[in-house]
Structure formats: C-alpha cells, structure tokens
Amino acid sequence: MTDAGTPLAIALTNCAKTFADGTRALEPLDLAIHAGETVVFLGPSGCGKTTTLRIIAGLEEPDAGGKVLFDGIDVTHLPIEQRNVGMVFQSYALFPNMTVAGNIGYGLKIRKVAETQVKARVSEMLAMMQITMLADRRIDQLSGGQRQRVALARAIAVRPRALLLDEPLTALDAKLRDMLRLEIDSLLRSLGITAIYVTHDQAEAMALGDRIVVMEHGRVAQIGKPREIYQRPATRFVAEFIGTMNRLTGAVKNGVFTCKAGSLAWPEAPANTTEILFRPEDIRVAEGRETTGLLGKVTAAFFLGDRTRLFVDVGEAQPLVIESTARRDFSHGDPVGLAIDPRGLLVL
C-alpha cells in the first residue's frame, strides 16, 4: 500500500534549544533516525522530548549551530509548511469550522489537488481508520477516540514522508489507549513510514518503538531497542523509569555478594559493587525444600490471576517486588527463600 512517500531518514546534529525566557529545554543532541523506523522519545515531562519533536517538525528552530537533515538535505531553516511531515497533536488540533471530511481533505486542498481526487483520498482515509460514518460530523460531535482517528487520517492523507506524533494517546482513558495503541502500531507497520512518537508512558514506548530514546532534563539518557533498554539500562534513571527495579545493597568478596538478606553467589561480580539491581521477573521464591542464600518476609501479596505480586521485606529501604507464578498462597509475615537469576543482575 503506497500510502506514504519514500520513507525519510532524519538526522539531528548539535541541536540545542534555549527559549526566550532563558529555559534550557534541550542540550546539544545528535541523533540519526533510519528511514522507515519508529523512534519513540520517552521521558518525564520537561525532559525535552516534545521540544525535539517540534524541532524536527519545523515548529521550533534549534539554537545556532544545530542542524536538521532530511535525507541529507539541510532543512533547519525550512518552516513546517514546507517540510511535508504529518503531525498529530496531543489535543488533536482539529478545525472546528470544518466537518471530519473537510479536516481530512484540508492538506490536499492546500496542495491544490483536484476536487475528485480529494474526495477519493478522503474516502480512502475514512475507510482505513474505520470512521466512514463520521464523514459529515462536526468536530464537537466526536468522542475522544474518534477525534484521534480523524487526526491520524488527516495527517496521513497528504502522504507525508514522516509522521510525528506528540503524545497522541495521553488524553484518552486507559482502555481506549490500549485499543488505539494496537491500531497505531499496525498502521505504522503497514505504512512503512518513518515515525517519531513522543510519550511519557513506558508501556506505549516499549510496544511501539523500534528504538527508544530515553530523555531526562534535556539530555539523552539512552538510545536502544526496547529489550536493550529494559534489560541493560545504562543509567539509574533509565533503570527506574522503565518498569520496576529491585535493589540490594551490600558488598562483594570472593565472588559472593553479601547483604542484609543473606548472600548470593555471583562469580562475575565487579569488585567494588555496593549495590545490585534486578527486575521482578528475575527473582523467584524458593520452592518446597529448596535452600537459597537469601531470606525475606512477605509484607503484601496481590493475587492477579496469572501471577502473584509479592512485596518482600529484606531489610532494605524498599521491599522487593516479585512476580511469582508459584501455585501457593502467601500471607503477611510468611518467611520466604529467594533465588535470583544472576543473568539479570545489573550494576550501575
């Protein structure tokens, strides 16, 4: 389905942004986005992800010295009207004075496409987003999910070379978000378009991104595939921002890590380790008569159907979080033995 132009490769070199009131929104950033890939900018509010998106879009200009390249061509000083990127805004920015069909066809009208072709393309978009019955509705007659679909249809109708999405699902409730996330994912895949997606929701990022750029305070903390980011976080911030992270403090001697809860054999332990981090799925409760070096006490247990989420006190500041698939009941105060998979251990 050739619904988009040839995918775009985007490069940012030395892009920083300081606003008129002095706020430093972005530190100098270098980034290469490959044609056809979906890159997700992830981070808490104020981290610079939206600023970066707007620089790529052409709504902001980077500070002097920064460059934005589309397929190697310098577009830094080109305004958004001439960049041919499709953009979906957090508040959708649908035009209240036009119908749904009018909104979707607007970009084509601006490009002076013939009326019949505009109609055909608008029908195509309406069908693709499954909103054909909404064609003549006004914007204030649409629900949030419907507006989202219209915004997507409008952005794609002009066959943009890249699609930029600024937190498109943030304004929706959880169930709708899950459903639309799937739709957006399949849409991006079928279009084969270069997509840049901004969000603060790490589940969204992990689901949609080919690569994730984790940002904090205007800087890039880590770039990588979802699995890398999750299993090999480069900094403490990334480790704690994505998913849940458990930690144990102690010391290493002769390949054994000793902490309040006991000891753990770990031959590859780096010498000066004072703290180890690991995910809830890399620790399990000892079964039957199994003995392990670590002991703790259950403080809370939540049966979630397919697993039990346990909070176990091991003498640290925070209890450990364990996703247990053991078929047994846990109650407050139960002593449990703990086994950790050393492959999941991290030191930062």
Partner 1 sequence: MKRRGLFLLQLGFTLLVCAFLVVPVILSMLAGLTVNYFIGVESGLTLRWVMEVWNGYRETIFLSIGLSLACLAVTLVLGVPTAYVLAKRQNALTRTLEEMLVLPVAVPGLATALALIVTYGSLSGFRTSWAFILVGHVLFTLPFMVRSVLAVLSAIDLKTLEEGAASLGAGFWPRFRDIVLPNCRQGILAGSLMVVTLSMGEFNMTWLLHTPFTKTLPVGLADAYASLRLEVGSAYTLVFFLMIMPLLLALQAFAKPRPAKFVAEETE
246 closest CA partner among 286, 279, 269: 279
User: Is the distance from CB of 157 to CB of 108 less than 8 angstroms?
Assistant: yes
Single-letter residue type at 281: E
Number of residues counted as binding partner 1 (CB under 8 A) = 34
36 closest CA partner among 9, 63, 12: 9
Among 57, 187, 188, 213, binds partner 1 (CB under 8 A): 57
C-alpha neighbours within 13 Å on the C-beta side of residue 271:
0
- Quote the least distance from Cβ 35 to partner 1, whole Å: 20
- Quote the least distance from Cβ 302 to partner 1, whole Å: 29
Stretch that binds partner 1, among 2-10, 87-95, 187-195, 262-270 (CB under 8 A): 87-95
- Quote the least distance from Cβ 133 to partner 1, whole Å: 11
Q: How many CB atoms lie within 10 A of CB 329?
A: 9
- Strands 211-216 and 219-224 turn out to be antiparallel
CA–CA separation, 121 vs 162, rounded Å?
Answer: 18
- Residue 51, classed as helix, strand or coil, is helix
User: Is the distance from CB of 67 to CB of 76 less than 8 angstroms?
Assistant: yes
Q: Is 5 in the site for partner 1 (CB under 8 A)?
A: no
Among 28, 46, 144, 342, binds partner 1 (CB under 8 A): 144
Write each residue from 174 to 193 as x if it is in contact with partner 1 (CB under 8 A), else as -, in one continuous string. --x-----------------
Q: Is 91 in the site for partner 1 (CB under 8 A)?
A: yes
Among 50, 84, 222, 246, binds partner 1 (CB under 8 A): 84
User: Is the distance from CB of 336 to CB of 296 less than 8 angstroms?
Assistant: yes
- Quote the least distance from Cβ 212 to partner 1, whole Å: 24
DSSP 342: G
DSSP string, 95-119: -TTSBHHHHHHHHHHHTT--HHHHH
What is the phi/psi pair of residue 132, to 5°? -55, -35
Which CB atom, from 38 or from 84, has the smaller least distance to partner 1?
Answer: 84
Which CB atom, from 89 or from 230, has the smaller least distance to partner 1?
Answer: 89
Q: Is 117 in the site for partner 1 (CB under 8 A)?
A: no
Q: Is 70 in the site for partner 1 (CB under 8 A)?
A: no
Q: Is 127 in the site for partner 1 (CB under 8 A)?
A: no
Q: Is 347 in the site for partner 1 (CB under 8 A)?
A: no
Which CB atom, from 115 or from 341, has the smaller least distance to partner 1?
Answer: 115
- Quote the least distance from Cβ 2 to partner 1, whole Å: 20
Where do runs of H (alpha helix) occur along 168-324?
174-191, 202-208, 226-231, 236-241
Write each residue from 265 to 304 as x if it is in contact with partner 1 (CB under 8 A), else as -, in one continuous string. ----------------------------------------
Among 19, 24, 30, 93, binds partner 1 (CB under 8 A): 93
- Quote the least distance from Cβ 176 to partner 1, whole Å: 6
4 closest CA partner among 135, 114, 152: 152
